[in-house]
C-alpha cells in the first residue's frame, strides 16, 4: 500500500487542517486507516441486517457488543495494530449472516445492498484493495454537505460507542443505544436522506449520547461510589511502580487487587487522575499518586518513568525505544509488537515492575484536588446560588475537553489564569492538564478550580448545569455559565452533539473547527446555536463577563 492511499480527518490535529493523506498525524499508518474504513463498512451492512432482524423479533447481544467495541477501536489513538482489525471485520460479517438466516427463517425480507452482502477477502492485500471503494472520499459525486453530516454522525456514534462500552464492562446496558447506532450507520447508506434528515439524526445522536453518558455515570458510581474531594500527590514514593493510563476504571481496580502486598505503588496518568476520588478505589493503600500530564506528552514522560506502564483505552502514542519493553496494552487499545493482555491477568505487568528499579527515593511535589463530580457540587448548589445572588460569584466557566499538541491550546491556560477571582472554573477531561496544578485560591469555601473528572464524566457537568438552571429558575442559556471547550477526538464530538440536543448555545470551541464540517453545515450550527470559534483569552473573557 502506497503512502497516498489514505484519507482521515476525524481528529482536530488532522494534517494541514484538511485531512491526513500519507500517514496519520496520530501515527496511524495507511493500512490501518484502510482496515478501519473497511470495518466501518462491514458494520454498516451488519446494521442494515440487524434492523431487519429486529422486525422479526431476532436479537443477538453479541452483535451489540461487537458493534460498540469495533466502533470504539476506530477512535483516534485507540488501536494501531492491523492484525486486530481483520478478525473484527470477519466477525461482523459472520454475525451479519447469522442474523440474516434467523430473520429469513421468519420470512423477514433483508436488504441486499453492497454493504450487507460484502464478503471480505482472505488476504491483507485483498482487504486493502476492497477498502479503496468504501473510504471517506471514495464517492466523488456525493454532495459535500451530505458527506459532512454523514461523517459527523459516524464520529458522534463512535463517541457514543466508547461510553457504551465502558458502561457494558461494568454491567450496564441499554438496547436503545445500540439500536440507534444501527439506525445511524444504516442511514449513512441511504441516498434518499436530505440535509435536514441528517441534521435531525445528528441531534438524535446527541440525545442518545446523553443516555450513554448517564448509563456510564450509573455504572461508575454504583460500582465505585460517588467521587469525593481528594488530594492527589504529584510526587513519588520510594519503591516499585506501575503507571496506569487511559480511562478504564475496571482495569485499574483489577490491577490494584492483583498488586496488593507486592510492594508496588500504583500511579495514574492522563485521564486516570480522577480515579483517585472514587471511594472503592482510593481504599487501596498502594494507590498512591499521579504522574505526568496529558496523552500527547507521554513519549517524554514515559521514558522517565522507572516502572511498568499499562494502557487501558485510547490515548496511546508510538512507544519509544527507551520504554517500549515496559509498556503493555489491554482492552481495545493496541500497538504493533506491544504485549497485549486479553485475559486481565496482569502478572506480566507486575513482573516487569518488579524487574525495573522503581523510584529510588520519596519525592515531594504539589498536590491537586479531584472529586468534584455532580454529587459533590450539587451538594452545595444552594451556596453557589447564594454567592451569585450576593455577587460574590460573578460567573462560572466550564473550561474542558481534550488536550493536544497542536499550537493554540495555550489559550485555555491563559483563559483560566486571567479569569477574575470572582469566577469559578469547572473542568473535565485531559484539557485540564494545561492548568490542573495551578492554585487559583478559593471562593466561598470552595476551590476556584473544580475537577469534575474524565471526559467520561461529562454527564456530571451537564447535570450540574441543569440543576443550577432549576435552582435559579431560568433556562441553561440564561445562567451565569459559559462553556469554553477544546476538542480532539470523537468522544468530544458526541459531547458537543449532546449539548446541541439540549439547546445549549454560545459555546466557544477550539483550538480549530472540525475539518469535516463544511461551511454550509457550520453556518447551520452558528445560526441555530451560536457556536463560536475561540479568539484570544482577553477578548473572550471580556465578552463572557460583560
Domain CATH code at residue 42:
1.20.1270.20
pLDDT at 4: 57
pLDDT at 406: 80
Are both 35 and 175 inside the same structural domain?
yes
Calculate mean pLDDT across residues 521-525.
96
Report the predicted TM-score, pTM, of the whole model to 2 decimal places: 0.96
Task: Count, in order, helices (H) and strands (E) of the chain.
Answer: 19, 16
Are both 242 and 306 inside the same structural domain?
yes
Query: Is the pLDDT at 462 greater than 90, yes or no?
Result: yes
| 8 assigned to some structural domain | no
| 365 assigned to some structural domain | no
> What is the rounded distance in angstroms from the CA atom of residue 216 to the CA atom of residue 220?
6
Are both 77 and 27 inside the same structural domain?
yes
DSSP letter at 314 equals S
| 491 assigned to some structural domain | yes
Each residue's pLDDT tens digit, 248-303: 999 999 999 999 999 999 999 999 999 999 999 999 999 999 999 999 999 999 99
> What is the rounded distance in angstroms from the CA atom of residue 325 to the CA atom of residue 329?
12
Query: Is the pLDDT at 382 greater than 90, yes or no?
Result: no
| 15 assigned to some structural domain | no
Q: Residues of the chain with pLDDT > 90: what percent? A: 94
Are both 92 and 182 inside the same structural domain?
yes
Query: Is the pLDDT at 110 greater than 90, yes or no?
Result: no
pLDDT at 230: 98
| 6 assigned to some structural domain | no
Query: Is the pLDDT at 3 greater than 50, yes or no?
Result: no
> What is the rounded distance in angstroms from the CA atom of residue 159 to the CA atom of residue 182?
14
| 9 assigned to some structural domain | no
Q: Spell out the residues 6+ positions from residue 519 whose beta carbon is closer than 8 angstroms to its own.
A: none
| 514 assigned to some structural domain | yes
Domain-terminating residue out of 222, 249, 265: 222
| Selection from 174, 171, 185, 249 nearest residue 209 by Cα | 174
Query: Is the pLDDT at 164 greater than 80, yes or no?
Result: yes
Q: Spell out the residues 6+ positions from residue 175 whose beta carbon is closer than 8 angstroms to its own.
A: 59, 64
Are both 259 and 343 inside the same structural domain?
yes
Q: Spell out the residues 6+ positions from residue 278 whose beta carbon is closer than 8 angstroms to its own.
A: 220, 224, 225, 227, 249
What is the band of 408 on the pLDDT scale with cuts at 50, 70, 90?
Answer: confident
Query: Is the pLDDT at 1 greater than 80, yes or no?
Result: no
Look up residue 382 and give its three cell numbers.
Answer: 444552594
In angstroms and rounded to an integer, the radius of gyration of the C-alpha atoms of the chain is 23
Are both 78 and 145 inside the same structural domain?
yes
Q: Residues of the chain with pLDDT > 70: what percent? A: 99
Each residue's pLDDT tens digit, 174-193: 999 999 999 999 999 999 99
Are both 152 and 179 inside the same structural domain?
yes
Are both 171 and 145 inside the same structural domain?
yes
Work out how many domains the chain is built from and give that number: 3
| 521 assigned to some structural domain | yes
**CATH, residue 323:** 3.40.50.2030
Are both 280 and 319 inside the same structural domain?
yes
Query: Is the pLDDT at 512 greater than 70, yes or no?
Result: yes
Range of the domain at 537: 373-545
pLDDT at 444: 85
Domain-terminating residue out of 188, 205, 222: 222
Domain-terminating residue out of 203, 222, 241: 222
> What is the rounded distance in angstroms from the CA atom of residue 312 to the CA atom of residue 191?
38
pLDDT at 459: 95
Residue 295, classified by CB atoms within 10 Å of its CB into exposed (0-12), middle (13-18) or buried (19+), is buried
Are both 434 and 528 inside the same structural domain?
yes
Are both 146 and 74 inside the same structural domain?
yes
Phi, psi dihedral angles at 334 (to 5 degrees) = -165, 150
328-354 burial code (b ≥16 CB/10 A, e <16)? bbbbbbbbeebebbeeeebeebbebbb
> What is the rounded distance in angstroms from the CA atom of residue 302 to the CA atom of residue 338?
15
Are both 379 and 313 inside the same structural domain?
no
pLDDT at 111: 77
Amino acid at each position: 500500500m502506497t503512502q497516498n492511499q489514505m484519507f482521515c480527518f476525524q481528529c482536530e490535529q488532522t494534517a494541514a487542517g484538511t485531512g491526513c493523506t500519507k500517514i496519520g498525524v496520530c501515527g496511524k499508518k495507511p493500512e490501518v486507516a484502510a482496515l478501519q474504513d473497511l470495518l466501518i463498512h462491514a458494520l454498516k451492512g451488519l446494521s442494515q441486517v440487524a434492523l431487519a432482524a429486529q422486525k422479526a423479533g431476532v436479537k443477538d447481544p453479541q452483535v451489540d457488543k461487537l458493534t460498540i467495541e469495533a466502533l470504539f477501536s476506530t477512535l483516534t489513538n485507540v488501536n494501531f495494530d492491523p492484525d486486530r482489525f481483520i478478525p473484527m471485520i470477519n466477525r461482523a460479517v459472520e454475525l451479519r449472516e447469522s442474523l440474516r438466516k434467523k430473520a429469513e427463517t421468519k420470512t423477514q425480507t433483508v436488504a441486499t445492498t453492497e454493504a450487507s452482502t460484502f464478503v471480505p477477502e482472505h488476504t491483507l492485500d485483498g482487504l486493502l484493495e476492497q477498502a479503496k471503494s468504501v473510504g471517506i472520499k471514495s464517492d466523488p459525486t456525493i454532495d459535500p454537505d451530505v458527506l459532512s453530516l454523514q461523517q459527523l454522525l459516524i464520529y458522534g456514534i463512535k463517541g457514543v460507542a466508547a461510553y457504551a462500552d465502558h458502561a457494558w464492562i461494568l454491567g450496564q446496558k441499554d438496547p436503545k443505544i445500540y439500536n440507534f447506532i444501527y439506525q445511524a450507520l444504516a442511514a449513512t447508506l441511504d441516498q434518499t436522506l436530505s440535509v435536514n434528515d441528517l441534521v435531525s439524526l445528528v441531534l438524535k445522536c446527541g440525545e442518545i449520547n446523553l443516555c450513554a453518558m448517564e448509563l456510564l455515570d450509573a455504572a461508575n458510581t454504583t460500582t465505585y461510589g460517588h467521587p469525593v474531594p481528594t488530594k492527589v500527590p504529584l510526587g513519588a514514593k520510594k519503591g516499585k511502580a506501575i503507571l496506569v493510563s487511559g480511562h478504564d476504571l475496571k482495569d485499574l481496580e483489577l490491577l490494584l487487587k492483583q498488586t496488593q502486598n507486592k510492594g508496588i505503588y500504583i500511579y495514574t496518568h492522563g485521564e486516570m487522575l480522577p480515579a483517585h476520588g472514587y471511594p472503592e478505589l482510593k481504599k487501596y493503600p498502594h494507590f498512591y499518586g499521579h504522574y505526568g500530564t496529558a496523552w500527547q506528552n507521554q513519549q517524554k514522560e514515559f521514558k522517565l518513568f522507572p516502572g511498568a506502564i499499562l494502557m487501558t483505552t485510547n490515548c496511546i502514542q508510538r512507544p519509544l525505544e527507551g520504554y517500549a519493553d515496559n509498556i503493555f496494552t489491554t482492552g481495545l487499545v493496541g500497538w504493533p509488537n506491544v504485549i497485549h493482555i486479553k485475559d486481565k491477568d496482569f502478572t506480566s505487568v507486575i513482573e516487569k515492575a518488579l524487574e525495573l528499579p522503581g523510584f529510588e527515593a520519596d519525592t515531594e511535589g504539589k498536590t491537586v484536588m479531584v472529586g468534584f463530580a455532580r454529587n459533590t457540587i450539587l451538594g452545595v448548589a444552594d451556596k453557589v446560588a447564594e454567592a451569585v445572588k450576593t455577587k460574590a460569584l460573578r460567573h462560572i466557566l466550564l473550561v474542558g475537553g481534550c488536550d493536544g499538541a497542536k499550537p493554540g491550546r495555550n489559550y485555555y491556560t491563559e483563559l483560566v489564569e486571567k479569569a477574575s477571582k470572582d469566577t469559578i472554573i469547572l473542568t473535565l477531561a485531559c484539557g485540564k492538564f494545561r492548568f490542573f496544578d495551578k492554585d487559583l485560591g478559593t471562593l466561598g469555601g470552595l476551590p476556584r478550580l473544580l475537577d469534575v473528572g474524565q471526559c467520561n464524566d461529562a454527564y456530571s457537568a451537564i447535570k450540574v448545569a441543569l440543576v443550577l438552571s432549576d435552582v435559579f429558575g431560568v433556562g441553561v442559556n440564561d445562567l451565569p455559565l459559559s462553556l469554553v471547550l477544546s476538542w480532539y477526538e470523537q468522544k468530544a464530538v458526541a459531547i458537543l452533539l449532546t449539548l446541541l440536543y439540549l439547546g445549549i448555545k454560545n459555546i466557544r470551541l477550539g483550538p480549530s473547527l472540525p475539518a469535516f464540517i463544511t461551511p454550509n453545515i457550520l453556518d447551520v450550527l452558528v445560526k441555530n446555536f451560536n457556536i463560536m470559534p475561540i479568539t484570544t483569552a482577553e477578548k473572550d473573557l471580556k465578552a463572557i463577563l460583560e
